[in-house]
Amino acid sequence: MPTFNVLVTSKHLVPEARQMLERAGAQLSFMDEPINEDTLIEQLSVGVFDAVLLRGNKPFTSRVLSAAKGLKLIAKNGAGVDSVDLDEASQRGIAVAVAAGANADAVAEHSIAMMLALIRDLHTLNAKMRQGGWEGTSWLGRDFRGSVVGIVGYGSIGRGTARMARALGAQVIVFTRNGRAADDFEVEKDFEKFLKRLDILSLHCPLTAQTRGLIGRKEIAMLKPGALIVNTARGAVIDEAALIDALSDGHLGGAGLDTFQVEPISADNPLLKMDHVILTPHVAGVTHSAAQRVATMTAQNIIDTFAGKPLPAANVMVGKEKA
């Protein structure tokens, strides 16, 4: 059986995925934190790796890729590859694959959970009760049913979120720049008109040059007073300073954030002190079932690549199937 060397950018890998790879002839090497440009270059310089199994958003910049002699594949254990220089990978003939849709339901559920918790103020009520408070009939909540939920990014996660929101009685609008149909959901291609209608803005787009800073001061000001923002996409899709200001001055009613401009979030970030903000540490897609699906799909991408089999087109970010 031919063997191939795989560098895993983590200390761990789901056992089922590890077994799949080892049975197919993979020789696995694991990395300890910190994992940054310098440690990646050091690791890639001392060994010849055929593939990288990329866990987390480790920086595969042009510097790192130039040190990766013989590298044929970067297989992301997930869907976001904004930490990989795709143009450089393409120029060097390095394929880049993702586990498209494998954790979509988990992320969609997390998004809906944040919406419900925010609109019913569950986090604040919980905190007050633990401090001896009892709101009783003095508290007046908001309804999710009938709320207008706007979806930006209609891939597998956006689609799942839209379906769940509608099942709970929300009115769903999907933003698409070209007006392309989004199943049977209402579509709006005018971003300003879209934002002005929303009670809840839910972000699910990839981080690209076009989406970086997509939600800035101007866009936040277009939202209704008291609107909510949920971000399970990438932190840099939102101008974080503008978000903090809008939360501070009361224009926004709250936010649910799973991703941030800097991760881990810094200890002095004002978001940590805001009681109308729900924060989670980039774990929306991390459930037991989702983790298994993502890891085994990632392993299968590696196995199929070295067996000469084509990958599903949705999984290919750089490679022959993408061309």
Give the catalytic positions in this structure.
234, 263, 282
> What distances in angstroms separate CA 56 from CA 33, 80, 86, 302, one per listed residue?
11, 9, 16, 17
- Distance, CA of 17 to CA of 78 (rounded, Å): 13
For 271, how many CA atoms within 13 A lie in the half-sphere containing its CB? 25
- Given a contact cutoff of 8 angstroms between Cβ atoms, the answer to whether 279 and 271 are in contact is yes
> What distances in angstroms separate CA 264 from CA 57, 206, 260, one per listed residue?
11, 19, 8
- Distance, CA of 114 to CA of 109 (rounded, Å): 9
C-alpha 260: how far from its chain's center?
10
- Token pair recorded at residue 82: 């904004």
Return the DSSP state at 138: G
- Token pair recorded at residue 293: 């699906």
- Given a contact cutoff of 8 angstroms between Cβ atoms, the answer to whether 71 and 97 are in contact is no
- Distance, CA of 158 to CA of 151 (rounded, Å): 6
